[in-house]
A and B are shown apart, each in its own frame.
Chain A
Amino acid sequence: MLPVCVERRKHLMRDTNKKILEVRDLKKQFKTRYGILTAVAGVTFQINEGEIYGIVGESGSGKTTVGSMITGMYKSDGGEILYKGQDINKPAVQRSRESKRAIQLVFQDPGGSLNPRQTIRQILSLPLLLHGRAKKGPALEDKIVQTIKKVGLPASYLDKYPQAIGGGEKQLVCIARALAPEPSFIVLDEPTSALDVSIQAKITNKLLELQKEFKLSYLFITHNLCLVRNLVHRTAIMYLGQLCEMASTEDFFTEPLHPYTKMLLSSIPVISEAEEKYKPITVRSIGEIPNPINRPTGCGFNTRCPFARDICKDREPEMIEVKDGHFVSCHLADT
């Protein structure tokens, strides 16, 4: 009979649905004047075809670094990134043309991700030409008009400069640009947090619509838990470069197991009585997020965890599957 932990690990690997992206033990460190900053310390998760996978975390949790490594912005310091089984864990420049086309990215700040000196037409023509979706000339023009119509913007916007349109519309152009090479996987790095509530709702609904229409899979990175509750199929939460808990969104919000998830859920200010009752038993937030340069030993959260015990200080917890599809990385989880 296999020891318990190996049994659980085997289950982790086998999965019925077709996997589009799998990340295994991904690591990333940055050299700074004050020492080595561990941004990502071993992260493992999979994303199935047609699924919206959410990564939630506060600043310094490393969620954006994970997203950047998947799109090839940084070189990672270890671990693998498998896109449809093929390892693409190297900077974008060295990746195959196919994987560069298949994975696209939408940044948080719409204003900063559009070149102010180019018209929307020029902005959209770059991805189309780069990934061979159209040749120069009339075919390109039709493809551009078709791309901008996908996100519901009128063709007259093509002759405008980014400064001339509103924040929400700029983000729609960024989404159109990500759709241009007809990718199958899009990394969305806090796409709506720079926008107002009402425009945020429009963009979120448009993303859902596009996901169904083009059978895309998303990696949705954000710090806004309410947004994740309404948009994402499976949620993971990161703290100080490590995954703490991973589950289907329903389980994640109804039965949080990891103390940090409980603390985060109870700290969110909500706007309706129903939500108040929905929150787990309150775990009061104490202490500050530690400096990633001198990480606490053992579990990253032990400096702020009300249930921390000696074992948490010296040994790093392992990711265990407590219930079907519900993984948690905490020594006290399975008691």
Chain B
Amino acid sequence: MEMNEDESHQQRARPRLDRFKRQWHKFSSNPLSLMGLAVVILLILAAILAKVVAPHPDHSGLFLDFSNANQAPSLRYLAGTDEYGRDILSRMLVGLRYSLGIGLLVLALSVPLGVLLGAIAGHYRHTWVDTAIMRSTDLFMAIPPLILALVVCAMFTPGYFFAALGIATAWWPWYTRLTYSLFTSLSNELYIKYAELGGATHWHIILKETLPNAVSPIFTKMSLDMGMIIIIASSMSFVGLGVQPPKPSLGSMVAEGMKYLPEYWWISVFPAMMVVLIVLGFNLLGDGLRDVFAIEEI
């Protein structure tokens, strides 16, 4: 009996891989989550290969062709053309690249900062550090996120990066609050108390003990937020505060199409549908992740 125990111990089972298989099994059992994942992967591919896939790649830049302006959706122009005769489908694909880009950029700007501050405030709770950080998040959350984003973004010359910066300034406090609440509730877990008692370094407790347990809710929030951010970004480009013409952005395309309702309805409707598709994909994916991680918690 003694011998084969050591043998089984030698060929080191990969615990992390087993856990991933179990999580994937739970994730894939829900068709909706799979659909969400498929849509997201499809969108990412479409964004990367936008120039290749788009029927008329040059339409996304400076291009005028009044002869077939405002064409209804046809075989040649699947989603019809806008007032300058540019193919809406190819502009949507390039616009998709900017929308996904801004979503990732905002997350890249707000998540690391928010999580770091939340972790520090949560770990050193009930000290001046905690009050300083959490009160400053109150400051940023005192007004609706969209207004703060507008104010910040309008400060600078309108552009893609500044739109992302604007949204990020309104978005990082949500992650600080989430991480703070996770860290404070995890702090009265017994294994954290044990690590503190044993004299583990603060760095070890934050990174090795508390953060791994906080990662899953943060990850779920990120994918759910992706949809929200894209909605806000497209709303801002609706009023001209995002990607500047002639570069296409879904929000501005919807805005331009407004003037031609209801005759040339497709100019607004198709970009709006694309936004809906993006947000749907990320939300389904986010719900799937939450179910997987929720089961993990119990």
B133 to chain A, nearest CB (A): 22
Complex Cα gap A145–B5 (Å): 12
The answer on a CB contact under 8 Å between A115 and B191 is yes
Q: Which of A118, A123, A130, A156 contacts B8 (CB 8 A)?
A: A156
The answer on a CB contact under 8 Å between A112 and B198 is no
The answer on a CB contact under 8 Å between B199 and A92 is yes
Give chain B residues whose Cβ lies under 8 Å from the Cβ of A126.
195, 198, 200
CB nearest neighbor in A for B197: A92
Complex Cα gap A115–B195 (Å): 10
A228 to chain B, nearest CB (A): 23
Give chain B residues whose Cβ lies under 8 Å from the Cβ of A159.
12-13, 15
Complex Cα gap A92–B198 (Å): 8
Is A100's CB within 8 Å of the partner chain B?
yes
Known A114-B191, A159-B15; judge A100-B5 contact (CB<8 A): no
Q: Which of A92, A117, A156, A161 contacts B213 (CB 8 A)?
A: A117
Give a binary string over A74-118; 1 marks a CB under 8 Å from any B CB, 0 the rest.
000000000000000000110001001000010101001111111
The answer on a CB contact under 8 Å between A154 and B5 is yes
> Which residues in chain A, 155-198, are within 8 Å of chain B measured between CB atoms?
155-156, 158-161, 177, 181
Is A242's CB within 8 Å of the partner chain B?
no
Is B65's CB within 8 Å of the partner chain A?
no
B3 to chain A, nearest CB (A): 12
Complex Cα gap A126–B198 (Å): 9
Is A311's CB within 8 Å of the partner chain B?
no
Majority SS of interface residues in chain B?
A: helix
Is A44's CB within 8 Å of the partner chain B?
no
The answer on a CB contact under 8 Å between B196 and A113 is no
The answer on a CB contact under 8 Å between B197 and A130 is no
Give a binary string over B202-215; 1 marks a CB under 8 Å from any A CB, 0 the rest.
00000011001100
Is B76's CB within 8 Å of the partner chain A?
no
Tally of chain A residues near chain B (CB < 8 A): 33
The answer on a CB contact under 8 Å between A156 and B197 is no
B282 to chain A, nearest CB (A): 25
The answer on a CB contact under 8 Å between A161 and B19 is yes
Known A109-B190, A112-B191, A159-B12; judge A93-B199 contact (CB<8 A): yes
Is B20's CB within 8 Å of the partner chain A?
no
The answer on a CB contact under 8 Å between B212 and A100 is no
Is A72's CB within 8 Å of the partner chain B?
yes
CB nearest neighbor in A for B204: A126
Give a binary string over B174-212; 1 marks a CB under 8 Å from any A CB, 0 the rest.
000000000000000111011111111000000011001
Complex Cα gap A100–B15 (Å): 31
Is B263's CB within 8 Å of the partner chain A?
no
Known A115-B209, A130-B200, A158-B9; judge A107-B194 contact (CB<8 A): yes
Complex Cα gap A112–B297 (Å): 12
CB nearest neighbor in A for B4: A156
Give chain B residues whose Cβ lies under 8 Å from the Cβ of A158.
9
Give chain B residues whose Cβ lies under 8 Å from the Cβ of A107.
190, 194
A40 to chain B, nearest CB (A): 19
Is A248's CB within 8 Å of the partner chain B?
no
Q: Which of A112, A160, A181 contacts B190 (CB 8 A)?
A: A112
The answer on a CB contact under 8 Å between B197 and A113 is no
Complex Cα gap A117–B197 (Å): 19
Give a binary string over B1-18; 1 marks a CB under 8 Å from any A CB, 0 the rest.
000011011001101000
B131 to chain A, nearest CB (A): 18
Give chain A residues whose Cβ lies under 8 Å from the Cβ of B194.
105, 107, 113, 177
> Which residues in chain A, 107-152, are within 8 Å of chain B measured between CB atoms?
107, 109, 112-119, 123, 126-127, 130-131, 145
B179 to chain A, nearest CB (A): 16
Complex Cα gap A74–B198 (Å): 14
Complex Cα gap A155–B6 (Å): 7
A151 to chain B, nearest CB (A): 15
CB nearest neighbor in B for A131: B198
Is A73's CB within 8 Å of the partner chain B?
yes
Known A100-B198, A100-B199, A112-B189; judge A117-B13 contact (CB<8 A): no
The answer on a CB contact under 8 Å between B200 and A105 is no
Complex Cα gap A119–B19 (Å): 11
CB nearest neighbor in B for A119: B15
Is A71's CB within 8 Å of the partner chain B?
yes
Complex Cα gap A228–B240 (Å): 76
Complex Cα gap A177–B190 (Å): 13
The answer on a CB contact under 8 Å between B191 and A113 is yes
Give chain B residues whose Cβ lies under 8 Å from the Cβ of A92.
196-199
The answer on a CB contact under 8 Å between B9 and A155 is yes
The answer on a CB contact under 8 Å between B213 and A115 is yes
Interface centre among B189, B198, B213 (most CB of A within 10 A): B198
Complex Cα gap A154–B4 (Å): 11
A182 to chain B, nearest CB (A): 14
Known A109-B190, A115-B209; judge A145-B197 contact (CB<8 A): no
Give a binary string over A253-275; 1 marks a CB under 8 Å from any B CB, 0 the rest.
00000000000000000000000
Q: Which of A72, A109, A114 contacts B197 (CB 8 A)?
A: A72
Q: Apart from A115-B213, A161-B19, what 18 extra A-B contacts exist at CB < 8 Å?
A: A71-B197, A92-B196, A92-B197, A92-B199, A93-B199, A100-B197, A105-B197, A107-B190, A109-B190, A112-B190, A112-B191, A123-B191, A126-B198, A126-B200, A145-B9, A156-B9, A159-B15, A161-B15
Nearest 10 A/B pairs, CB to CB: A117-B212, A113-B190, A155-B9, A115-B191, A159-B13, A112-B190, A107-B190, A92-B197, A119-B15, A154-B5
Sample 18 A-B pairs with CB under 8 A, ordered by A number.
A71-B197, A72-B197, A92-B196, A92-B198, A100-B198, A100-B199, A113-B191, A117-B213, A118-B208, A119-B15, A126-B198, A130-B198, A130-B200, A145-B9, A154-B9, A155-B5, A156-B13, A159-B13
